[in-house]
Amino acid sequence: MPLVFEEVKLNCGYRIDLLVEDKVVVEVKCVDGLNDVHFAQALTYVKLGNHKLGLLLNFNVVLLKDGIRRIANGL
Protein backbone atom coordinates (compact mmCIF):
# COMPACT_ATOMS: atom_id res chain seq x y z
CA MET A 1 0.00 0.00 0.00
CA PRO A 2 1.68 3.23 -1.08
CA LEU A 3 1.66 6.14 1.31
CA VAL A 4 0.35 9.49 0.00
CA PHE A 5 1.17 12.60 2.02
CA GLU A 6 0.30 16.10 0.78
CA GLU A 7 -0.04 14.82 -2.81
CA VAL A 8 3.38 13.13 -2.67
CA LYS A 9 3.21 9.39 -3.32
CA LEU A 10 5.81 7.29 -1.48
CA ASN A 11 6.22 3.71 -2.70
CA CYS A 12 7.88 2.67 0.55
CA GLY A 13 4.53 2.54 2.32
CA TYR A 14 2.90 -0.23 4.31
CA ARG A 15 2.59 -3.92 3.52
CA ILE A 16 -0.89 -5.32 4.02
CA ASP A 17 -0.99 -9.10 4.44
CA LEU A 18 -4.20 -9.56 2.41
CA LEU A 19 -6.67 -7.24 0.71
CA VAL A 20 -9.88 -9.00 -0.34
CA GLU A 21 -11.87 -7.51 -3.25
CA ASP A 22 -10.28 -4.12 -2.51
CA LYS A 23 -12.65 -3.90 0.48
CA VAL A 24 -11.48 -5.99 3.44
CA VAL A 25 -8.02 -5.76 5.00
CA VAL A 26 -6.82 -9.01 6.58
CA GLU A 27 -3.84 -8.82 8.93
CA VAL A 28 -2.42 -12.23 9.88
CA LYS A 29 -0.52 -12.88 13.13
CA CYS A 30 0.80 -15.88 15.03
CA VAL A 31 1.46 -14.55 18.53
CA ASP A 32 0.67 -15.61 22.10
CA GLY A 33 -1.94 -12.88 22.38
CA LEU A 34 -3.17 -9.93 20.37
CA ASN A 35 -2.45 -6.57 21.93
CA ASP A 36 -3.14 -2.91 21.17
CA VAL A 37 -0.16 -2.60 18.81
CA HIS A 38 -1.57 -5.30 16.52
CA PHE A 39 -4.99 -3.67 16.58
CA ALA A 40 -3.50 -0.23 15.83
CA GLN A 41 -1.51 -1.62 12.90
CA ALA A 42 -4.58 -3.18 11.29
CA LEU A 43 -6.68 -0.07 11.97
CA THR A 44 -4.01 2.07 10.30
CA TYR A 45 -4.17 -0.08 7.16
CA VAL A 46 -7.97 0.16 7.12
CA LYS A 47 -7.99 3.93 7.54
CA LEU A 48 -5.16 4.71 5.10
CA GLY A 49 -6.76 2.59 2.41
CA ASN A 50 -10.18 4.12 3.15
CA HIS A 51 -11.62 0.63 3.57
CA LYS A 52 -14.66 -0.11 5.72
CA LEU A 53 -13.64 -3.38 7.32
CA GLY A 54 -10.58 -5.21 8.58
CA LEU A 55 -9.94 -8.56 10.20
CA LEU A 56 -7.11 -9.29 12.58
CA LEU A 57 -6.40 -13.03 12.64
CA ASN A 58 -4.23 -14.78 15.22
CA PHE A 59 -3.40 -18.37 14.30
CA ASN A 60 -1.70 -19.18 17.62
CA VAL A 61 -4.94 -20.22 19.36
CA VAL A 62 -6.67 -23.55 19.95
CA LEU A 63 -9.91 -22.44 18.26
CA LEU A 64 -9.55 -20.03 15.33
CA LYS A 65 -12.75 -18.21 16.31
CA ASP A 66 -10.95 -17.08 19.49
CA GLY A 67 -8.23 -15.39 17.42
CA ILE A 68 -10.41 -13.19 15.20
CA ARG A 69 -10.99 -9.47 15.82
CA ARG A 70 -13.15 -7.38 13.53
CA ILE A 71 -12.10 -3.79 12.83
CA ALA A 72 -14.60 -1.30 11.45
CA ASN A 73 -13.73 2.10 10.05
CA GLY A 74 -16.24 4.77 11.00
CA LEU A 75 -15.36 6.80 7.87
Tell me if 5 is assigned to some domain: no
Tell me if 25 is assigned to some domain: yes
Tell me if 40 is assigned to some domain: yes
Tell me if 3 is assigned to some domain: no
β-strand pairing of 53-58 with 24-29: parallel
Q: Could you list the residue range(s) of the whole structural domain that residue 22 is in? A: 17-72
Residue 66: pLDDT band with limits 50, 70, 90:
very high
Tell me if 47 is assigned to some domain: yes
Tens digit of each residue's pLDDT (9 = 90 or more) over 13-55: 667 888 899 899 999 999 999 999 999 989 988 988 889 999 9
Q: How many domains does the chain have?
A: 1
Q: Which residue in 52, 59, 50, 3 sits closest to 27, CA to CA?
A: 59
Tell me if 11 is assigned to some domain: no
pTM: 0.77
For residue 32, give every residue at least 6 positions away whose Cβ sits within 8 Å of its Cβ, in sequence order, or none: 60
